[in-house]
């Protein structure tokens, strides 16, 4: 009977080969280095860091109990925030349709439009809503127009990308069949493509609306309308109890929004 | 009448898939095309309604030259050609009625199409045809809830709603079980007689071809090598149609040319 | 031959007619009323087109003169993202276990879920403002903000993954008499590790994007540089910063996508 070391060339067992071990160690070392570099060179006053728990406790102490005296106007502005999100999402959805159409490889008329569509989607997605808001406040002045347009611009990229992917994944056989009946391009789209992407369309629209609810709560912080303005005002005047009320209202709004959107998405499917 | 003359189709620089084909379909016959895979049956059918672009040659349907048409004229010509597909090619999420009415898309306005306001005549005819083929009770059912045979019937009604001058069927029964397959073939044959419609069917089941069609065309690597009554299709003809390989054939071509 | 019907209507999506009309009218009323009562200063909007022209004119060509500031800002964002990812992921693991129905007792489960919901509901900018007020301006507030942001996403995803594990493996360990921690390491961790790594990389990418933005309210990073540029009407510098942000996002998305594809 041959021994283990004769059969397998070794007497021990380990999970990784030496080469794998070296690679895993390498990756770990790189990550650790990155973390140490970040820790070492970041401009933080470490005295403040150790102080922070007590600072946070202090802050939360000042927020309690929340001051509900202004609840009426807070809720009114919260409603305005919801409207900003809803309108902007609706507009974005409408604009995304043609953009998604030209950004999908199987429906775009030519390479130039494909490139254009993809460019629009990428730039829309890569610029954060807040940055768009900064730009539009500079253009349109403070107010909800800047907010609506900012959310709209950001949403077009999100919706358009997902919609474009859905269009690229359709079953092309009905398209072929309807072309064979002599229907015009537009009718072929309406009958063979649109029904196939409808479920995705609604799911994406509702999802983005949910995300936009969250986004629109901060538009006011850069002057673009919504409840952010009240929050900023409360914080600037160190009115922590009122700020706490606003935060709770925002929490309630977002949670409600999630419940509604989950419900709608379940019904659509 | 459909008259195909000297049809050639080649993809890129490769050997032609269809080689100088001549075929004439008169009046109300049911013609089947048989041949092994790669013989070019599907390509031939698709060249007729230009789903595949012919490289050269002429296709004339009832006096209209199809190969040179573009845009609106091509769409108008396609309205006159009905097609039934192997995969049924229905819009799964739409109801049977909508699928059937999509055969009329070439005839109704865009607004009517989007709003689903179909002309009364079309609705009546749809119900008539659906009852004839046995699916009238599914008018409001989503297409993806039907069985294979039922879906193919929807496909047939859609094609007939176009009031076509010719019906093309590309392996209409390949995805169906044997019993349903025979039902569909029988349906096609009967409808051809009732509506006085020429029908061209790609099929790989030779028994069904013999039983349900009036004329059999046998293709082999892009050429028609048999064109006769079903009774004339004997062992020797079958051997010619279904055996061999492209290489051997090309060798034959070269020998002929030299 | 029976008479065939000549009219047809498509069965509507909402079957109940009362509900259907209520939804249509409700939607119409909502959009109409809100659109009419929205506080929009149309005069200012009209001016906007002209202002847009001036801004874009001032923004081109983008100015990289103060490139040093740009690089500093970007590096700070990178550091914030790295530290926040490490901290956030580290905290997410215990919180995820707390929020997984199949490994946590009920009260702990509720607590875990509550933590995640609160972490997710507030936009990072709001969280940033609060931390800035609590611990002062600078990147520390940014790190704390993004730790919360990371927990909101990573802990949620991880908890879902934990709820989906094959419990048979845990049972086998228990049957063999393994202590709790060993069961964790041998039966649960290997099942969640691949997802964990993917999430970490995704979150690093996410944090890098977000760190560009929290700076706008004073939490450090390139966002602060951007807000300053806007405030001083340095639109050409602002454009340069934005271009860099977009480029960084695209590169980081591509890299993280590649890595995640490799390990999948």
Instruction: In whole angstroms, give the CA distance from residue C71 to residue C181.
Output: 45
Q: What is the mean pLDDT of residues B147-175?
A: 94
- Taking an 8 Å cut-off on Cβ atoms, the answer to whether A126 and C40 are in contact is no
CATH code assigned at B185? 3.40.50.300
Contact A100, A204 (CB under 8 A): no
Alpha-carbon distance C259 to nearest alpha carbon in chain A (angstroms): 12
Q: What is the mean pLDDT of residues C68-96?
A: 92
Q: What is the mean pLDDT of residues C130-157?
A: 91
Nearest residue in chain A measured CA to CA from B83: A180
Q: What is the mean pLDDT of residues B77-87?
A: 95
Superfamily of domain C68-263: MetI-like (1.10.3720.10)
Q: What pLDDT does C190 receive?
A: 85
Tell me which residue range forms the domain holding A257.
71-268
Q: What is the mean pLDDT of residues C207-211?
A: 89
Q: What is the mean pLDDT of residues A236-264?
A: 92
- Taking an 8 Å cut-off on Cβ atoms, the answer to whether C11 and B123 are in contact is no
DSSP secondary structure, A165-224, as one string: HHHHTS-SHHHHHHHHTT--HHHHIIIIIHHHHHHHHHHHHHHHHHHHHHHHTTGGGGTS
Total H helices, total E strands in chain A: 12, 0
For residue B117, name the pLDDT band (cuts at 50, 70, 90): very high
Report yes or no: A39 at the C interface, CB cutoff 8 Å: yes
Interchain CB contacts (distance < 8 Å): A and B: 81
Residue to test with chain B: of A172, A181, A185, most B Cβ within 10 A: A181
CATH code assigned at A93? 1.10.3720.10
Residue with more model confidence, A132 or B258: A132
Burial of C197 (0-12, 13-18, 19+ CB in 10 A): middle
User: Which residue of C4, C10, C11 is in closest CB contact with B127?
Assistant: C4
Instruction: In whole angstroms, give the CA distance from residue C143 to residue C122.
Output: 16
Neighbour subunits, A (≥3 Cβ pairs < 8 A): B, C
Q: What pLDDT does B246 receive?
A: 59
pLDDT at B258 over 70: no
Q: What pLDDT does B26 receive?
A: 85
pTM: 0.84
Which C positions 6-45 lie with beta carbon below 8 A of chain B? 6-11
pLDDT at C204 over 60: yes
The average confidence (pLDDT) of chain A is 90
Q: What is the mean pLDDT of residues C34-44?
A: 83
Q: B199-202 and B166-170: which strand pairing?
A: parallel
- Taking an 8 Å cut-off on Cβ atoms, the answer to whether A130 and C76 are in contact is no
User: Which residue of B76, B91, B113 is in closest CB contact with A195?
Assistant: B91
Per-residue model confidence as pLDDT tens digits over A134-149: 889 888 888 899 999 9
In a domain, A41, yes or no: no
Q: What pLDDT does C194 receive?
A: 82
- Taking an 8 Å cut-off on Cβ atoms, the answer to whether C7 and B123 are in contact is yes
Q: What pLDDT does A213 receive?
A: 94
User: Partners of B217 in the beta sheet?
Assistant: B33, B227
Q: What is the mean pLDDT of residues A179-207?
A: 93
A-chain residues near B93 (CB < 8 A): 195-196, 198
Q: What is the mean pLDDT of residues A66-76?
A: 87
Report yes or no: C23 at the A interface, CB cutoff 8 Å: no
Q: What pLDDT does B180 receive?
A: 93
In a domain, A259, yes or no: yes
CB atoms within 10 A of CB A267: 11
Per-residue model confidence as pLDDT tens digits over B177-192: 999 999 999 999 999 9
Q: What pLDDT does B248 receive?
A: 55
Listed residue (B220, B227, B224) closest to B250, CA to CA: B220
Domain count, chain B: 1
pLDDT at C257 over 90: no
For residue A45, name the pLDDT band (cuts at 50, 70, 90): confident
Instruction: In whole angstroms, give the CA distance from residue B252 to residue B34.
Output: 21
The average confidence (pLDDT) of chain C is 87
Report yes or no: B124 at the C interface, CB cutoff 8 Å: yes
Q: What is the mean pLDDT of residues A44-51?
A: 82
Q: What pLDDT does C2 receive?
A: 59
Q: What is the mean pLDDT of residues B207-234?
A: 90
Q: Given phi > 0 = left and psi -120 to 50 = alpha, else beta, which region is C26? A: alpha
Contact B222, B40 (CB under 8 A): yes
Q: What is the mean pLDDT of residues C193-200?
A: 85
- Taking an 8 Å cut-off on Cβ atoms, the answer to whether C135 and A126 are in contact is no
- Taking an 8 Å cut-off on Cβ atoms, the answer to whether A180 and B78 are in contact is yes
For chain B, give the percent of residues with pLDDT over 90.
73
Q: What is the mean pLDDT of residues C55-69?
A: 84
DSSP secondary structure, B63-129, as one string: TEE-TT--HHHHHHHHHTEEEE-TT----TTSBHHHHHHGGGTTTS-HHHHHHT---HHHHHHHHHH
Q: What is the mean pLDDT of residues A59-84?
A: 89
pLDDT at B251 over 70: no
C-chain residues near B129 (CB < 8 A): none
Q: What pLDDT does C233 receive?
A: 85
Cα radius of gyration (chain C): 26
Q: What pLDDT does C260 receive?
A: 80
Domain count, chain A: 1
Q: What pLDDT does B234 receive?
A: 86
The residues spanned by each domain of chain C are 68-263
In a domain, B254, yes or no: no
- Taking an 8 Å cut-off on Cβ atoms, the answer to whether A182 and B79 are in contact is yes
Instruction: In whole angstroms, give the CA distance from residue C65 to residue C62.
Output: 9
Neighbour subunits, C (≥3 Cβ pairs < 8 A): A, B
Q: What pLDDT does B255 receive?
A: 53
Residue with more model confidence, C9 or A86: A86
Cα B158 to the chain's mean position, in Å? Answer: 13
Contact B200, B45 (CB under 8 A): yes
- Taking an 8 Å cut-off on Cβ atoms, the answer to whether B105 and A182 are in contact is yes
Residue to test with chain A: of C78, C119, C134, C143, most A Cβ within 10 A: C134
Report yes or no: A87 at the C interface, CB cutoff 8 Å: yes
Nearest residue in chain A measured CA to CA from B84: A177
In a domain, A6, yes or no: no
Burial of C168 (0-12, 13-18, 19+ CB in 10 A): exposed
Tell me which residue range forms the domain holding B70.
1-240
Long-range contacts from B122-127, C-beta under 8 angstroms, 24+ separation = B122/B161, B123/C4, B123/C5, B123/C6, B123/C7, B123/C8, B124/C4, B124/C5, B124/C6, B125/B161, B126/B97, B126/B100, B126/B101, B126/B157, B126/B161, B126/C8, B127/C4, B127/C5
In a domain, A114, yes or no: yes
Q: What is the mean pLDDT of residues B14-34?
A: 89
The length of chain B is 258
A-chain residues near C139 (CB < 8 A): 42-44
């Amino acid at each position: 009977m041959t021994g283990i070391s004769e059969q397998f060339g070794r007497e021990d067992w380990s999970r990784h080969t030496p080469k794998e071990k070296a690679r895993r160690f390498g990756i770990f070392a790189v990550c650790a280095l990155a973390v140490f570099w970040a820790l070492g060179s970041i401009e933080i006053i470490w005295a403040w860091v150790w102080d922070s728990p007590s600072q946070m406790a202090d802050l939360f102490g000042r927020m309690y109990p929340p001051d509900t005296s202004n609840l009426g106007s807070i809720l009114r502005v919260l409603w305005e925030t919801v409207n900003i999100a809803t309108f902007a999402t609706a507009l974005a959805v409408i604009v995304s349709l043609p953009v998604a159409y030209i950004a999908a490889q199987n429906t775009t008329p030519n390479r130039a439009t494909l490139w254009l569509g993809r460019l629009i989607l990428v730039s829309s997605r890569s610029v954060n809503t807040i940055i768009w808001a900064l730009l539009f406040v500079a253009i349109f002045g403070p107010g909800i127009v800047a907010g609506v347009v900012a959310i709209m611009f950001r949403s077009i990229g999100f919706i358009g990308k997902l919609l474009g992917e859905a269009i690229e994944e359709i079953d092309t056989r009905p398209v072929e069949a309807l072309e064979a009946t002599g229907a015009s391009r537009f009718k072929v789209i309406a009958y063979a493509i649109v029904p196939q992407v409808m479920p995705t369309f609604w799911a994406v629209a509702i999802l983005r609306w949910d995300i936009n609810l969250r986004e629109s709560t901060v538009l006011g912080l850069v002057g673009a309308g919504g409840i952010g303005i009240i929050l900023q005002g409360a914080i600037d005047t160190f009115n922590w109890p009122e700020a706490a009320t606003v935060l709770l209202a925002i929490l309630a709004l977002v949670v409600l929004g999630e419940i509604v959107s989950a419900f709608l998405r379940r019904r659509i499917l | 009448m459909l008259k195909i003359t000297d049809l050639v189709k080649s993809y890129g620089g490769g050997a032609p898939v269809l080689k100088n084909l001549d075929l004439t379909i008169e009046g109300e016959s049911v013609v089947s095309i048989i041949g092994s895979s790669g013989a070019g049956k599907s390509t031939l059918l698709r060249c007729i309604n230009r789903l595949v672009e012919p490289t050269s040659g002429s296709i004339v349907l009832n006096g209209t030259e199809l190969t040179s048409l573009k845009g609106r004229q091509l769409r108008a010509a396609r309205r006159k050609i009905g097609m039934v597909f192997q995969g049924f090619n229905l819009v799964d999420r739409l109801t049977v009625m909508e699928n059937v009415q999509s055969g009329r898309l070439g005839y109704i306005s865009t607004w009517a199409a989007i709003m689903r306001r179909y002309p009364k005549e079309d609705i009546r005819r749809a119900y008539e045809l659906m009852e004839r083929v046995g699916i009238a009770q599914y008018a409001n059912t989503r297409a993806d809830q039907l069985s294979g045979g039922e879906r193919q019937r929807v496909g047939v009604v859609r094609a007939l709603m176009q009031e076509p001058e010719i019906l093309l069927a590309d392996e209409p029964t390949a995805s169906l079980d044997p019993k349903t397959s025979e039902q569909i073939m029988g349906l096609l044959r009967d409808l051809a007689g009732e509506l006085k419609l020429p029908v061209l069917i790609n099929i790989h089941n030779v028994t069904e071809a013999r039983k349900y069609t009036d004329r059999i065309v046998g293709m082999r690597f892009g050429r028609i090598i048999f064109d006769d009554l079903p009774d004339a299709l004997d062992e020797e003809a079958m051997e010619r149609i279904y055996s061999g390989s492209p290489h051997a054939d090309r060798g034959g071509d070269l020998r002929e040319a030299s | 031959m029976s008479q065939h019907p000549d009219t047809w209507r498509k069965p509507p999506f909402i079957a109940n007619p009362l509900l259907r009309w209520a939804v249509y009218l409700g939607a119409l009323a909502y959009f109409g009323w809100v659109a009419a009562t929205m506080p929009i200063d149309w005069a200012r909007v009209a001016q906007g087109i002209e202002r847009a022209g001036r801004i874009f004119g001032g923004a081109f060509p983008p100015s990289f003169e103060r490139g040093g500031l740009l690089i500093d800002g970007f590096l700070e964002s990178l550091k914030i993202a790295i530290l926040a990812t490490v901290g956030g992921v580290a905290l997410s693991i215990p919180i995820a276990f707390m929020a997984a129905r199949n490994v946590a007792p009920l009260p702990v489960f509720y607590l875990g879920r509550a933590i995640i919901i609160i972490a997710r509901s507030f936009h990072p900018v709001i969280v940033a403002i609060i931390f800035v007020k609590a611990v002062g301006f600078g990147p520390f507030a940014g790190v704390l903000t993004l730790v919360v942001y990371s927990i909101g996403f990573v802990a949620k995803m991880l908890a879902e993954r934990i709820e989906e594990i094959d419990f048979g493996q845990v049972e086998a360990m228990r049957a063999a008499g393994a202590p709790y921690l060993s069961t964790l390491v041998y039966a649960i961790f290997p099942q969640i590790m691949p997802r964990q790594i993917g999430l970490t990389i995704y979150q690093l990418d996410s944090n890098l994007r977000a760190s560009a933005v929290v700076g706008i309210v004073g939490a450090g990073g390139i966002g602060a540089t951007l807000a300053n540029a806007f405030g001083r009407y340095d639109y050409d510098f602002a454009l340069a910063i934005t271009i860099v942000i977009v480029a960084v996002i695209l590169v980081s998305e591509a890299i993280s996508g590649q890595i995640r594809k490799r390990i999948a």
